[in-house]
Every structure is written in structure tokens, then in C-alpha cells.
Amino acid sequence: MTIALHSRLKEGHEEAYERDHQHIPDDLAAEFARLGVHEWRIWRSGRDLFHLVDCDDFEGAMIALESSPANARWQEFINQHLDGFATFGDGPGGTAVPQVWTLTGQVGQE
């Protein structure tokens, strides 16, 4: 499954975020792999961050990451730059942006 997320940077943190997010800790990358998170891409436009996450079970991975020491360390570090994530519902999966349309869905390949 592919999940889209939208987060926002604190004003003035654009360059520092890009510098600090050039690499995530190896133990967090290993945790993502263990939890079925295959790819996580981030784009920035001004203070807005757009994420695409390819994973087996987004909500399950987010629940598991809540008790991950590697994730806790990373969140403490990177959150200095973030205003937070947009939310669209309750629970760990509530940050997933609702999908509106897909080309493959329209042409019958999905």
C-alpha cells in the first residue's frame, strides 16, 4: 500500500530540516524494514512536507513504532523542526491523506 502524509515545518527551520534529514539512524531504518515499511519519500515546498510511504500495513507499523526506542530518539531529534502532521481521522492511521483518484483505478489496472 502507498500512503500519503502532509506535515509542516516550523518557520525558519527549512534548511536545518533538510540538513538534519539527509540520513535517518540505521537502527530506525532497520525498524522500518522489520515492520514492512519499504520506502518513505519526502518532498518539501516551502514549509510543507509531502510524504509517500510504501508499506505493508501503515497503521500496524505506526502502532509498533510507538514503543520503538529508535523511533523515540529520532522523533525527539527531528520534531524540533516540525509543527506537526495534518490529521484526517483518529488513531495511528489518522495522518494518512485520503486518496481521491488513481490512473490505474480509472483504466482498470488496479
**Structural domains of the chain sorted by starting position, each given as residue range(s) with its CATH number in brackets:** 2-83 (3.30.70.1090)
E strand intervals along 1-110: 2-9, 37-45, 48-55, 82-85
pLDDT tens-digit map of 16-28: 999 999 999 999 9
Q: How much is the pTM?
A: 0.91
Q: Does residue 29 contact residue 67 with C-beta atoms inside 8 Å? A: no
pLDDT tens-digit map of 29-45: 999 999 999 999 999 99
pLDDT tens-digit map of 54-93: 999 999 999 999 999 999 999 999 999 999 999 999 988 8
Q: Does residue 6 contact residue 84 with C-beta atoms inside 8 Å? A: no
* Residue reference for cell 500500500: 1
Cα angle 35, 73, 45 (rounded to 5 degrees) comes to 80
